[in-house]
Amino acid sequence: MINRLFGNYLVKAGKITQEQLENVIETQKKVRVKLGLIAVAEKLMTPEQADEVNNLQAIKDKRFGDIAVEKGYLTDEQVSRLLGLQGNAYLTFIQAMDDCKIMTPEEADAALSDYQKENSFTATDIDALKSGDADRIVPLFMPVECTGLQAELMQGAVRALIRLIDSDTYVMKGTVVNTYEADRMALQDMNGDHNATLCFAADGNDLKAIADVYGQEDFAQVDLDALDAVGEFINCVNGMYTTKLSGTCNMDMLPPSYKDTRSVAKAGKICLLPVCVNGKTINMLTSFDETITF
């Protein structure tokens, strides 16, 4: 996520071009290796075991290493060693820029200081960004009013986008609104100990960024079939969320619903978090202890 967040700043500041950023990110993909591939290369897991863990990630809200330890394929110590081999997200981005002869590590660190000042990030915030850990990065962009279980829902949704839709998904600064208008929306309500709604909304055909991948189909446009694919993704996110909370509270999922014409979502407090998925900006809306109405 740091590659897009910091990279977009570098483009906006005129320090690099968009084309250079795309080249760096493409180069970075060769620098960063998935944990499963490293585990197989180190002969700690078989290809079949790695595939099994990858498939379990689609239904469990857990990291590859956590699942591999649960299955008995790896120890905590082995996971730590593999993570060290995988490399730090910020450092691999800087290495890729240096490899592409676009910016030296020293120039990048100076630019990062400017980025920190412009966004009023603390040293702890920058450490979180450099870690590449979505669980540490996403809270920096969520509205301060979004806390507790609502924040967990939003973080879980971003994790699912990264794991199941686009590994380069990144977030932008969120806000709180009472209403939000968009051309297309897919949403699902939950009720029980807490009422809540998770919704993805966008204009035009931008929701194809989720629908095409999760539905495994190239939809011509965002029609009801495409929205159904987005709804199934939301159902997956909420399923992992409610399962995780089942020991402390009960929440039931209602069937997903859709808006295929321009509509206005309303609630006392909607936490809106823009996410960039496959190059398209999609707004994630959540309400908690109330549901979104129209």
- The residue type of 267 is A
Measured CA to CA, the distance from residue 61 to residue 112 in angstroms comes to 31
> What is the separation of C-alpha 222 from the centre of its chain, rounded to a whole number of angstroms?
21
Per-residue confidence (pLDDT) for residue 23, from 0 to 100: 95
**123-131 vs 89-99: helix crossing angle, rounded to 10:** 70
Per-residue confidence (pLDDT) for residue 64, from 0 to 100: 93
Residue 29 makes CB contacts below 8 A (sequence gap 6+) with: none
Q: What is the number of other CB atoms lying within 10 angstroms of the CB of residue 145?
A: 12
Please name which of 230, 196, 232 lies closest in space to residue 212, comparing C-alpha atoms: 230
Per-residue confidence (pLDDT) for residue 31, from 0 to 100: 76
| pLDDT tens sequence across 215-260 | 999 999 999 999 999 999 999 999 999 999 998 999 999 999 999 9
Q: Which domains does the chain have, with CATH numbers?
A: 2-134 (no CATH), 139-288 (3.40.1550.10)
pLDDT confidence band for 33 (50 / 70 / 90): low
Mean pLDDT value of segment 107-117:
95
Q: Decide if 63 contacts 110 (C-beta within 8 A).
A: no
pLDDT confidence band for 95 (50 / 70 / 90): confident
pTM above 0.85, yes or no: no
Per-residue confidence (pLDDT) for residue 265, from 0 to 100: 98
